[in-house]
Structure 1
Amino acid sequence: MNVKYFTWCLTVLTVLLGIIAFSSCLDTNDTEIEFISSDAQIYGITLSAAYDSTGTLANAEFSIDQRASLIYNRDSLDYGFEPKNAYLTLELRYAAAVKIHLQNPDSTYFWNNTDSVNIGRLKYIEIYAQDGLTKKKYEFRLNIHQQNPHQLVWTQLTNNYLPFPMDAQKTVAFNNQFYTYYKSGQNIKGVVS
């Protein structure tokens, strides 16, 4: 009975050690690898403002030139639009921080996603990646029409283009130049511009 008891204990001990050994091998692939990104790009931007009752700013489409690090609106905003504080929304993937650079007077601060930004003074938006090393600085340009589209403004380009008095004239466009022929008294002359 001693041998049977010893064999039984040895079998139970072997089974228990086997269970412990195999269970310790389970879940060894659950190690999590932390991914720290070096992506410091802006993928989208929108602006909106409470004072913008016509939605001019909210409807503006901004382009992002990643190579030149430039953010701008291709279609200029309406003449007379005065940029003030606006709510800025940035589409970022793995950014750790955003720094806003203003001009006139110069000031810089870290943006917290809820602060409004004075877009009339906004010069740069700087993005810091998660790795703490990579950063990208975008220049911001807000294009606004500089002339009222409902007014015609004429400016004189040259003085005394043609001498006076003149009896008749003809102008021909050729090779990106204007050839003007005119008759003054008995003389016929030409001018190129």
Structure 2
Amino acid sequence: MKKNRLQSGTAACMAALLLSSCLNNKELEVPNWVQDNCQIASFSLKNDSIRGLAQVVFTIDQIKGEIYNRDSMPYGTVINRKIICNVKYDGPPPSAVEVYQETTKERKNWNGSDSLDLSKPIRFDVYSYNGKSVKTYTAKLNVHQQKPDSMTWLRTEKLLDTEREEQRVLEWRGKYRMFVRKAGNDLLYQSDDAKTWIASSLNGLSGKTLVLSQITVYGEAFYAPAADGLLYRSDNGTDWSIVGGAPEIKVLLGVVDSVTQSSRPSALAAIVKNSDSWHFASMNAKGKWTTGETVPEAFPFEGFGTVGYEAVFYRHLLVIAGKKRNGELSNLSWETTDGLRWVSLNHSTTAGIEPCEGAAVSFYDNQIYLIGGFNASKTASRKIYRSANRGLSWTLVNKLIVLPETFQPRGYASLLVDKDNYMLLFGGKEKHDRAVLDELWRGRINRLGFKE
């Protein structure tokens, strides 16, 4: 591109010099290659009544003959007035320029100063200085057709087309793994695209019941606590074995990943039984366990949401809301960087969410989103909250990103974000004793899908 611009600029300078010389020396002739040049070198627009128009930068694709702005003008910009087009050329002035305006369906000669209607594309036919060549361009002014901060949600009609009591969906190696409890049996469904699923049985559990809601990916493996306190591991999601040397596991809380800027290792965080009390603990990548502080009464033991994020050269793990040991629900956010010590972020402030369990949580668009859940009356919610300060406080999202009326309130859904910046909300329950909803909701903030 730099070479092409250099050649174009050189050609323009040479043409100007040669044409100037022709005025003083009629024996000099403009070379044919200069006379044949009819390329547009730059394109800009102006209208004082259209805010920001003069700052729009246009790309000229000489091969395709297209002129357009990569960065679309803001949503709501109205192009209802004629616009001054400033066009400069690579070579000597063209012998003629004809325009075809899509709005009027008329073709006419253009003198370079008449205003044009760019509410729809315009075609420019540029005739070379000698009239022997012509190059056609289509100019288009792009304006965003969607509100950038709004989100459209779409629902699949069926996900598995089978009833199930519990469900947990995880992303693993770029693919989806759905752990399901169906008629008392645990199964794994695998998918590359969250559309087509293949079922397989879980092996090696010897009749043990896994806590599906706490299955966690650490490193390249799956970890899951059993109801009796044993910890199981699987390298593929189907074949499981007991993790030797592990303490009695009460709760798997999640993973604290490592970062390149820090020497702090990664950790699988848990709550374990130590003598007659419950303690925080963590396992490193080599399988070594370290016991931490005693678990406070206000810390949740089930029904919590977890999310990780990176800040100040550390990976942080958050546990949000959930049910405490005494059965009461929490609305607190707890944070750790090692799994051994946890801090309540909002124990002395107003959290902004009511105590709940089964809320779906994920990090999205540099904020933490919380969707749904059950309150103390066991009523399901369809509300969306988000936190811009890592769980310290929450704001109800009541416009632009709200779920449609057809979305049934629910708790215990799985929430993931895919590589294309879509939120994927799998399943969930309308009531505690109901089957999992057999559906997937998919939504994305519009600006996260805009092409650069």
Please give the TM-score of this superposition, normalised by the length of structure 2: 0.33
Query: SS in structure 1 opposite 2:36?
Result: coil
Letter in 2 for 1:33: L
Once the two structures are TM-superposed, the CA of residue 39 in structure 1 deviates from its matched residue by 0.7
- Distance between the aligned counterparts of 1:77 and 1:166, measured in 2? 48
Whole-Å Cα distance in 1 between the matches of residues 177 and 122 of structure 2? 45
2:182 aligns with: 184
Alignment map for 1:10-89 (pairs within 5 Å): 31-35=26-30, 37-52=35-50, 54-55=51-52, 57-84=53-80, 85-89=82-86
1:173, CA displacement in angstroms? 4.1
Distance 1:173 1:81, change over 3 A: farther
Q: By how many angstroms is 1:191 displaced?
A: 4.4
- Pairs within 5 Å for 1:41-190: 41-52=39-50, 54-55=51-52, 57-84=53-80, 85-92=82-89, 93-94=91-92, 95-156=94-155, 158-162=156-160, 163-175=162-174, 177-187=175-185, 188-190=187-189
Q: Decide whether aligned partners of structure 1 residues 170 and 72 sit closer, same or farther in structure 2, where only a CA change above 3 A counts.
A: same
CA contact (8 A) 1:49 1:87 kept: yes
Compared CA separation, residues 110 and 152, structure 1 to 2 (3 A) = same
CA distance, structure 2, for counterparts of residue 31 and residue 134 of structure 1: 24
Unaligned runs of 5+ in 1: 1-29
Q: Secondary structure at the match of 1:79?
A: coil
May I ask how many residue pairs the two structures share in their alignment?
Answer: 160
Deviation by residue 1:8-39 (Cα, 9 ceiling, x = unmatched) = xxxxxxxxxxxxxxxxxxxxxx5532326111
1:120 partner letter? S
* Conserved? CA contact 1:167–1:185, under 8 Å: no
- C-alpha distance after superposition, 1:50-70 (max 9, x if no partner): 321x32x11110000111111
The structural deviation recorded for 1:135 is: 0.5
- With over 3 angstroms needed to count, the CA separation of the structure-2 counterparts of 1:183 and 1:105, relative to structure 1, is farther
**3-state DSSP class of the match of 1:58?**
helix
Mapped partners of 1:98, 1:44: distance in 2: 15
CA RMSD after TM alignment: 2.0
The structure with the largest alpha-carbon Rg is 1
CA contact (8 A) 1:71 1:138 kept: yes
The 1:186/1:78 distance shift into structure 2, 3 A limit, reads same
Supply the AA of the counterpart residue of 1:79.
Answer: Y
Q: Report the AA paired with residue 55 of structure 2.
A: N
Deviation at 1:186, TM superposition (A): 1.7
Q: State the SS of the aligned residue for 2:55.
A: coil
Contact preservation (8 Å) 2:118, 2:140: no
TM-score of the pair, normalised by structure 1: 0.74
Identity of aligned residues (%): 25
Distance in 2 between the 1:123 and 1:31 partners?
Answer: 38
Mapped contact 2:167–2:178 kept (Cα < 8 A)? no
Superposition deviation, residue 164 in structure 1 = 4.3
- Contact conserved, 2:103 with 2:119, CA < 8 A, in 1? no
* Residue identity in the other structure for 1:96: S
- Whole-angstrom CA distance in 1 between matches of 2:65 and 2:166: 57
CA apart distance, 1:189: 4.1
Looking at structure 2, the residues matched to 127 and 41 of structure 1 have their Cα atoms a distance apart, in angstroms, of: 8
The structure whose residues are more often helix, as a share, is 1
**Secondary structure of residue in 2 paired with 1:155:** strand
The 8 Å contact of residues 100 and 122 in structure 1, kept in 2 or not, is answered as no
